[in-house]
Structures are given as structure tokens and as C-alpha cells.
């Protein structure tokens, strides 16, 4: 039981040291793509949909009486 505890503590200390001290710098340069311009428009300018009157809402359908099956009784 003692060996796994020592191994775990050693790995955790190494991981924390790696985060604190940081990774070594890389020679690779990141390719950052140029930004894409977009235009924000109001939806009223884009769509010309006609409003439709839906009428009165339908009454809700009542649920049937549901009973749960008895699995076990004590």
C-alpha cells in the first residue's frame, strides 16, 4: 500500500512542478487565420413573411390516470 502512495505523490509533485515552471518554449509559430467580416442585419430586412392568425388555442388534452406498477411490497 505504501509504494502506490509514494508513486502517486511523486507524479502529483512532478505535475504541479510542470504547471508552475511551465513547459519549454516551442519553435513552432501559430497560423492564425484572418478574421472574416460579417454584417449584422435586422430580421425584418431579410424576411418578408406575412403574419398568420392562428385562431384560438386548443384546450389541453387531459392525461389518462396512470398507475405505477408495484415492484415489491414489504
**Is the model's pTM score more than 0.75?**
no
Residue range 20-66, pLDDT digits in tens: 888 777 777 878 888 888 888 777 656 666 667 777 877 877 777 66
Distance CA 42, CA 48 (A): 12
What are the angstrom distances between the C-alpha of 10 and each of 3, 21, 38, 39, 52?
A: 11, 16, 51, 54, 69
pLDDT above 70 for 5: yes
DSSP state of 33: P
Distance CA 38, CA 15 (A): 43
Q: Any idea how long the chain is?
A: 74
Distance CA 27, CA 65 (A): 70
Amino acid at each position: 500500500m505504501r509504494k502506490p502512495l509514494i508513486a502517486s505523490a511523486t507524479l502529483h509533485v512532478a505535475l504541479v512542478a510542470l504547471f508552475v515552471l511551465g513547459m519549454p518554449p516551442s519553435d513552432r509559430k501559430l497560423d492564425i487565420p484572418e478574421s472574416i467580416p460579417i454584417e449584422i442585419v435586422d430580421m425584418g430586412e431579410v424576411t418578408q413573411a406575412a403574419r398568420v392568425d392562428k385562431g384560438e388555442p386548443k384546450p389541453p388534452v387531459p392525461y389518462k390516470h396512470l398507475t405505477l406498477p408495484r415492484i415489491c411490497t414489504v
